[in-house]
Amino acid sequence: MSGAEPRRYIVRTYGCQMNEHDSERIAGLLEADGLVRASGEADADVVVLNTCCIRENADNKLYGNLGHLKTWKSRKDGRQIVVSGCLAQKDQDVVAARAGHVDVVMGTHNVHRAAELLHEAEHADAPITEILDAAVIDDHAMFPSALPVRREHSYNAWVTIQIGCDNNCAFCIVPAVRGAEISRPYADIVGEVHQLAAAGVTEVTLLGQNVNSYGRDLQVAARRAGDESAKLRPLFSDLLRDVGAVDGIRRVRFTSPHPKDMRPDTFAAMAETSAVCEHLHYPLQSGSDRVLALMHRGYRADRYLERLGEARAAIDELAVSTDIIVGFPGETDDDFAHTLEVAAAAEYDYAYTFIFSPRPGTEAAAMEADFVAPDVASQRFQRLRVVVERSALRKHEARVGRLEEVLVEGPSKRDPAVLSGRTRQNKLVHFTPPRPVRTGSYVSARVTSAAPHFLVGDFVELLDEPTHKLRIPVAAG
């Protein structure tokens, strides 16, 4: 109706970077359909919950939120609720059965249908559930980066290079909810980065479930199609070089690689491409060869450390982070001792540590007879934290006195007068500028003190101001 107020939406995101990226695309699709962003649930007409099934108690949190939203929905006619993401993909009809007031349930493979499903739900007598078992073979549908976008930040951007995962880690539900590994066309990725750079983005993060195997499926397909020149190897190192060469791109990051697929050519590309940041997220998960075999990780601890040594030899000033799971089913005191030894030897700059919790649908969830007692797992977790924080503090204290390039992310959560930003090594720096500095600026700061999880510095000078637009719509096609 002419002159009517536009409908408003809000997207709540849970889980990993892939979910964050999907949420940006859902928001972009809704805005392309005429909706505008709401400041909160109170003035929203549509609430999207983009779910994760990897986090502990994810389903309990979802249904708790949906209980609250039932009251929210009853207060105004026309309000709609969407549940999307990995938990929706895994549970399929369970969401609609447990929360009949939900309007749309959609999975990980049909982000491109968000606006259409909302329209269909307006005329439906029951919740619409659309869960595709595999990615639609269509560039716009398959890769979220090909869809319209509403980015949370305009100075940096996620760029999807791959969806799905071909690994079968015993603790991970991702292959079940994200599907088989499919690489995005090479030229599409580089083309998107050119678009982003033209809009003022200076930092991109290449995103996939196993980024360093990127392109292997493309090469296999090319060989089968008769291209004898197609080398049956990943293309990730080539992609790093080409993305890093895009004019205007100052920083390139990537997440997450898999140790079993880590190759020397990736380290060479990181070392030789100035835009690629000196940071490697290198998930260990366990330092015990026996537990690594139970997890189906595909490497041994000595091989992991050997490759880590190669990376540090090739890349100056390399910072390394990791993921470690404590209390995997069957983990003994001896197994855990090996994890402590490897964590100490690896000297991580920071680590994401987790106590194992079973995810329904995974192999590990069925290993109940071997579950580690909660008090034992908790004690091990605390011991591991001491080791990784000791290493992190040492690494950070070594930066005191150093001049660091910092990309400004905005005010500190604790003190709005203090700004926070990231170094090339992905270290968080807090500093107080003498005058206002815009988010997305590059500044230099001299590190004055260190803690295990952040650095404190003095502002030295403004290096570059941002050139990004306030909003970056990326049109499909």
- Per residue, the 3-state secondary structure of 143-189, as one string, reads CHHHCCCCCCCCCEEEEECEECCCCCCCCCCHHHHHCCCEECCHHHH
Q: For strand 46-51 and strand 203-207, is the pairing parallel, antiparallel, or unpaired?
A: unpaired
**pLDDT beyond 60 at 135:** no
Give the pLDDT score at 176: 62
For strands 319-326 and 350-355, give the pairing. Answer: parallel
Q: Burial letters for 78-110: b for 16+ Cβ neighbours within 10 Å, e otherwise?
A: ebbbbbbbbbbbbbeeebbeebebbbbbbbbbb
Stronger pLDDT, 360 or 166, i.e. the higher one: 166
The number of beta carbons lying within 10 Å of the beta carbon of residue 222 is 16
Q: What is the CATH number of domain 8-130?
A: 3.40.50.12160
Q: In percent, how much of the chain has pLDDT > 70?
A: 90
pLDDT confidence band for 198 (50 / 70 / 90): very high
Cα(282)–Cα(304) distance, integer angstroms: 9
Q: Give the lowest-confidence range in 43-47, 145-149, 207-211, 396-400.
A: 145-149
> pLDDT per residue over 81-134, tens digit each?
999 887 777 777 788 888 889 899 887 777 888 888 888 888 888 788 887 765
Q: Where in the chain is the domain with CATH 3.30.750.200?
A: 310-398
* pLDDT score at 212: 92
Q: What is the pTM of this model?
A: 0.78
Mean pLDDT score across all residues of the chain: 88
Sequence-ordered list of residues with C-beta below 8 angstroms from that of 439, at least 6 positions apart, any chain: 153, 155, 408, 409, 410, 466
Confidence tier at 143 by pLDDT (50, 70, 90): low
Look up residue 98 and give its DSSP letter. Answer: H
- Residue 282 is predicted with a pLDDT of 96
| CATH 2.40.50.140 residue spans of the chain | 403-464
117 strand-pairing partners: none
Per-residue model confidence (pLDDT) at position 254: 97
**Predicted local distance difference test score (pLDDT) of residue 454:** 96
Q: Write the pLDDT tens digit of every residue in 1-55.
A: 445 789 999 998 876 667 777 888 888 889 888 899 998 889 999 999 988 766 5
Residue 335 pLDDT > 80: yes
Output 26 or 281, whichever has higher pLDDT: 281
Give the per-residue pLDDT at 204.
96
CATH of domain 310-398: 3.30.750.200
Helix (H), strand (E) at residue 459: strand 455-464
* Confidence class for position 72, pLDDT limits 50, 70, 90: very high
Per-residue model confidence (pLDDT) at position 121 = 87
CB contact at 8 A, 215 and 236? yes
Q: Is the pLDDT of residue 146 over 60?
A: no
Indicate where the chain has its CATH 3.30.750.210 domain(s): 153-277
- What gap in Å lies between CA 409 and CA 131, rounded to an integer? 36
CATH topology (fold) of 403-464: OB fold (Dihydrolipoamide Acetyltransferase, E2P) (2.40.50)
**Would you place residue 377 in the very low, low, confident or very high pLDDT band (cuts 50, 70, 90)?**
very high
Q: Is the pLDDT higher at 267 or at 209?
A: 267
445 DSSP β-pair partners:
404, 459
- What is the β-pairing status of strands 419-422 and 403-411? antiparallel
Q: Does position 195 have pLDDT exceeding 50, yes or no?
A: yes
pLDDT, mean of residues 413-440 = 95
HSE-up (13 A, CA, CB side) for residue 214:
26
pLDDT tens per residue across span 288-332: 999 999 999 999 999 999 999 999 999 999 999 999 999 999 999
Q: Which fold has domain 153-277?
A: Transcription Regulator spoIIAA (3.30.750)
Q: What is the pLDDT of residues 182-193, one digit of tens each?
A: 899 999 999 999
Residue 165 and residue 179: Cα distance in Å, rounded?
Answer: 6
57 pLDDT tier (thresholds 50, 70, 90) = low
Contacts with 74 (C-beta within 8 Å, 6 or more apart), sequence order: none
Q: Which range is least confidently modeled, 109-123, 147-161, 435-449? A: 147-161
